[in-house]
Copies of this chain bind each other. A is one copy, B any other.
Amino acid sequence: MTRLWYGGDYNPDQWDLSVWKDDVELMRQAGVNLVTVGVFSWSSLEPSPGEYEFGWLDQVLDLLHAGGVSVDLATPTASPPPWFSRLHPEALPVTPDGVRLTHGSRDTYCACAPAYRSAAVGIARALVNRYDNHPALAMWHVHNEYGSVCYCSLAAERFRDWLRERYGSLDRLNTAWTTAFWSQGYADWQDIQPPRRTQYLVNPTQFLDYRRFWSDELLKAFLEQKAEIRERSSLPITTNFVFGGWVPVNHAQWASAVDIVAIDHYPSQTDLGAEEQTAFGADLARSWAGGKPWLLMEQAAGTLNDGQRLHAKEPGRMARHSLSHIARGSNGALFFQWRASRGGSEMYHSALVPHAGASSRLFREVTDLGSVLPRLGEVADSKVVAEVAVLWDVECWWAMQGTHLPSSSLDYLAAVQDAHRHFWRAGVTVDFAPPSADLSSYKLVVVPSLYLISDEAAASLAAYVEGGGQLVVGYFSGIVDPDVQVRLGGYPGAFRSLLGVRVEEFHPLPEDGVVELSSGGQGRLWSEDVEAVSAEVVDRYVGGVLDGKPAITRRQVGAGTAWYVSTSLDSETAAGIFGLSPSAVETVRRRTNSGDGDGDTTWTFLFNHGDAEVVVPADGVELISGVKVDGELSLPGGGYAVVRSP
């Protein structure tokens, strides 16, 4: 592939024919080459049960094709029409409180309801039967942002099936769930329920298993649609991954089921944090894709949503975010949505064509970016270069979302973001890696708060160190096994011998509390009463009840080194310890993968996140301007460049 995708979700059913024609013309102006069509069109495509109306979609696809715009055709199964919930009220989702939700928004279905599953495959079949040969089609897009959870009795039945498969016997389940506590021993599979609202704290393993189950069940639902489409079509099939605290989907596991890893990405911060979140999201997507190219399926063109307000993106920011994704492996930059809705719940969600119309700064920037991307087509499918890995494990995240932890400040995602930020601020590119990955290619591996870890993953990390790796393990790691049972004998159980430390007691810090370190740095959130059994002490706590006790340790293991950091470091302290210096310029490298490294082409993406001009060393050709760079390149404040070196 030597081009990058550019475009976004297109919802023509909100408009009439005259607008469609304008749209295709504007897409052409803007350089759009891919639109996702039909994500929310079920009620337009099948307005009443079994009666399909494809005419409008035929016309739209023809117009797009004529305009040179490819189509990512979506199955509209994330939002069944109102008639569906009237005919199948049992397929409406139920909250942990037992409230059965009503349609009138989106995602009002239970993925475990047979009626829903069958209807979803049905509408997918109808679409592939009609459009498998349409020349506009470039790929298939199943569903939208899989994630919504349900706690109904149909879900309970599937959960029991899943548990039977996982545990084989009730004895094994009772042991894994520690049901002897609080008299929860199960004598009959029928007695097991989803973690609905109960009197007091929920069983933490039941809680985690429900998240595991739901991810697996949604994956089955996806695979059913995929199989249906694959029968007639050989085009790539994808779905857009969405990442948020509420989504029980194991994207790393799902990645092997999609032909293209695609993500939606909406930063929630409005300052430089948005750039950092962009890097984080893109690095995560690349890790899910196993380092291979992936696709940014959705972002917002003009706004950053902090949860309370839509902050207008400053001039140039849309392009910078888009290039940041591409620098990190995305084969394009797509948006939700093409044209801003006139009404409906997301009428203020920004779009490539805003309410003000094409005569607007925003659309002019869209057009500018559309003119730049073709010059970068050569980077498509190349690999991103990283020498540092941060571990990420969704099961650990889920386990830490339970209600049983020793501090409400423990936050897996935040710990991983902290680690990522330490490197991002220094302009260092990191990969994320799953716990059992082969890490031998990395110089440094960071393991933030890996609360839950399997024996296999612990062995893999030990082998990495033995083989010469530098491993940094963060606080509250290695505590429990995959059954959420403590590894006894002293924390951090799974890492105790590797790190040469033993912790008897946790010392959570008060909210906003800090603890001083002898190096002059500071810890936050958490501290531990560390005994350096066979490790060297790198830093110590100063003051308080842990005064003089080890805070950071290091142990030589084979050819490598294993560090333990028993508190949450601020970025300055972390930078000091890991030898990172702050850099206003972020540098990300992509490289061809010719087999032997010698003749590889390298593309260096440079982003100046500061306000002042910076001069950086560079050689080659700057692709956006087409100008030859010889030794150094000047980047204005907020500027960016892409330099190809042979």
**Residues of A that sit less than 8 Å from B by CB:** 11, 13-14, 40-44, 47-48, 76, 79-83, 85-86, 93, 97-108, 148, 176-188, 190-193, 195-206, 270, 302-303, 308-312, 314, 340-348, 354-357, 360-362, 403-409, 480, 483-486, 488-491, 502-508, 510-511, 529, 545
Max chain B C-beta neighbours (<10 A), residue from A11, A190, A488: A488
Known: A104-B193, A105-B198, A105-B200. 20 other contacts (CB 8 A): A43-B184, A43-B187, A44-B183, A79-B184, A99-B197, A101-B199, A102-B198, A105-B202, A180-B344, A182-B345, A203-B344, A204-B347, A303-B406, A312-B529, A343-B480, A343-B486, A356-B489, A356-B491, A356-B505, A360-B504
Chain B neighbourhood of A206, CB < 8 A: 104
Chain B neighbourhood of A312, CB < 8 A: 505-507, 529, 545
Give A92 Cβ to nearest chain B Cβ, in Å.
Answer: 9
Expressed in whole angstroms, the Cα–Cα distance for A86 and B303 within the complex equals: 51
Give A479 Cβ to nearest chain B Cβ, in Å.
Answer: 9
Contact for A504 among B195, B362, B511, CB less than 8 A: B362
Q: Using known A-B contacts A342-B486, A355-B490, determine if residue A81 contacts B198 with beta carbons closer than 8 Å.
A: no
Give A459 Cβ to nearest chain B Cβ, in Å.
Answer: 21
Q: Are A348 and B404 in contact (CB under 8 A)?
A: yes
Chain B residue, CB-CB nearest to A170:
B47
Chain B neighbourhood of A403, CB < 8 A: 345
Give A175 Cβ to nearest chain B Cβ, in Å.
Answer: 9
Chain B neighbourhood of A81, CB < 8 A: 183-185, 187
Q: Using known A-B contacts A201-B345, A345-B201, A345-B204, determine if residue A182 contacts B310 with beta carbons closer than 8 Å.
A: no
Chain B neighbourhood of A100, CB < 8 A: 98
Give A67 Cβ to nearest chain B Cβ, in Å.
Answer: 21
Q: Are A183 and B98 in contact (CB under 8 A)?
A: no
Chain B neighbourhood of A176, CB < 8 A: 343
Expressed in whole angstroms, the Cα–Cα distance for A406 and B408 within the complex equals: 31
Expressed in whole angstroms, the Cα–Cα distance for A333 and B193 within the complex equals: 38
Expressed in whole angstroms, the Cα–Cα distance for A612 and B69 within the complex equals: 75
Chain B neighbourhood of A201, CB < 8 A: 105, 345-346
Q: Are B108 and A407 in contact (CB under 8 A)?
A: no
Expressed in whole angstroms, the Cα–Cα distance for A42 and B181 within the complex equals: 10
Chain B neighbourhood of A409, CB < 8 A: 308-309
Give A98 Cβ to nearest chain B Cβ, in Å.
Answer: 6
Q: Are B345 and A200 in contact (CB under 8 A)?
A: yes
Chain B neighbourhood of A355, CB < 8 A: 486, 488-491
Contact for A184 among B99, B101, B103, CB less than 8 A: B103
Q: Are A41 and B104 in contact (CB under 8 A)?
A: no
Q: Are A188 and B48 in contact (CB under 8 A)?
A: yes
Contact for A14 among B47, B97, B181, CB less than 8 A: B181
Chain B residue, CB-CB nearest to A410:
B309
Give A400 Cβ to nearest chain B Cβ, in Å.
Answer: 12
Q: Are A192 and B82 in contact (CB under 8 A)?
A: yes
Chain B neighbourhood of A43, CB < 8 A: 179-180, 183-187
Give A13 Cβ to nearest chain B Cβ, in Å.
Answer: 4
Chain B neighbourhood of A188, CB < 8 A: 48, 82-83, 86
Q: Are A40 and B183 in contact (CB under 8 A)?
A: yes
Chain B neighbourhood of A148, CB < 8 A: 199
Q: Are B102 and A343 in contact (CB under 8 A)?
A: no
Q: Are B102 and A196 in contact (CB under 8 A)?
A: yes
Q: Using known A-B contacts A103-B198, A105-B200, A348-B404, determine if residue A44 contacts B185 with beta carbons closer than 8 Å.
A: yes
Q: Using known A-B contacts A181-B14, A183-B81, determine if residue A407 contacts B310 with beta carbons closer than 8 Å.
A: yes
Q: Are A342 and B93 in contact (CB under 8 A)?
A: no
Pull 27 A–B residue pairs with CB atoms less than 8 Å apart, ordered by A. A13-B180, A14-B178, A44-B185, A79-B184, A81-B184, A82-B188, A99-B197, A103-B193, A104-B195, A104-B198, A176-B343, A177-B343, A180-B344, A182-B345, A201-B346, A202-B345, A308-B511, A340-B486, A342-B486, A343-B480, A347-B404, A347-B486, A348-B406, A355-B489, A356-B490, A356-B491, A356-B502
